[in-house]
């Protein structure tokens, strides 16, 4: 591969990239925040499970506020662009096995377009 070809290689570093909101607001904030709903623990659990299961080409990253605070804990997975509400470890396990490993959408956890745009 030439240097010119490399400069135009747009393939992603990871096949799937998870952005898990861990934003925290003060107690009593009217919108709430994902960190106040255990998103940091759930993100850590997801990272650990992906590593333990030796799932390759998947990256779990921390995200700032995704602007769907009332619906959180929230995450989004690219390149699919699927948004999820992830409330507990069971939800994490389902997102890993069904979405990240099997390539299926976990429909009952998806934030629909209406929900994703409800605060706009
Ligand atoms: S605090 Fe998580 S979406 Fe805003």
Q: How many domains in the chain?
A: 1
Task: Please give all residues whose beta carbon lies within 6 A of any atom in ligand 1, as ranges.
Answer: 21, 23, 33-34, 65-69, 72, 74
The alpha carbon of 116 and the centre of ligand 1 are apart by a number of angstroms equal to: 12
Residue 55 counted as domain residue: yes
Residue 80 counted as domain residue: yes
The alpha carbon of 65 and the centre of ligand 1 are apart by a number of angstroms equal to: 4
CATH number at residue 29: 3.40.30.10
Torsion of CA 85, 90, 95, 100, to 10 degrees: 150
Looking at residue 112, its pLDDT comes to: 80
The domain of 65 spans 13-116
The count of C-alpha atoms lying within 13 angstroms of the C-alpha of 114, restricted to the half-sphere facing its C-beta, is 0
Residue 7 counted as domain residue: no
Looking at residue 12, its pLDDT comes to: 74
Q: Which two tokens stand for residue 119?
A: 């605060």
Residue 8 counted as domain residue: no
92 within 8 A of 86, measured Cβ to Cβ = yes
Residue 50 counted as domain residue: yes
Residue 1 counted as domain residue: no
Q: Which two tokens stand for residue 69?
A: 């605070």
Distance CA(94)–CA(20), nearest Å, equals: 15
Distance CA(30)–CA(5), nearest Å, equals: 50
Looking at residue 6, its pLDDT comes to: 67
Residue 95 counted as domain residue: yes
Distance CA(48)–CA(69), nearest Å, equals: 24
Distance CA(77)–CA(103), nearest Å, equals: 11
Looking at residue 118, its pLDDT comes to: 44
Residue 20 counted as domain residue: yes
Looking at residue 17, its pLDDT comes to: 96
**pLDDT tens track, the chain, 120 positions:** 676 666 777 777 899 999 999 999 999 999 999 999 999 999 999 999 999 999 999 999 999 999 999 999 999 999 999 999 999 999 999 999 999 999 999 999 999 877 765 444
- Tell which one of 18, 21, 42 to mutate to probe ligand 1, the residue whose CB is within 8 A of the most ligand atoms: 21
């Amino acid at each position: 591969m030439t240097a010119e070809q490399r400069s135009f290689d747009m393939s992603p570093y990871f096949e799937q990239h998870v952005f898990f909101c861990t934003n925290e607001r003060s107690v009593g904030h009217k919108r709430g925040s994902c960190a106040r709903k255990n998103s940091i623990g759930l993100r850590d659990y997801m990272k650990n499970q992906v590593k333990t299961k030796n799932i390759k080409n998947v990256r779990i990253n921390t995200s700032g506020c995704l602007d769907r605070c009332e619906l959180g804990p929230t995450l989004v997975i690219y390149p699919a662009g699927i948004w999820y509400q992830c409330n507990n470890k069971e939800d994490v396990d389902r997102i890993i096995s069904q979405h990240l490993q099997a390539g299926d959408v976990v429909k009952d956890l998806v934030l629909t377009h209406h929900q994703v745009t409800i605060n706009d």
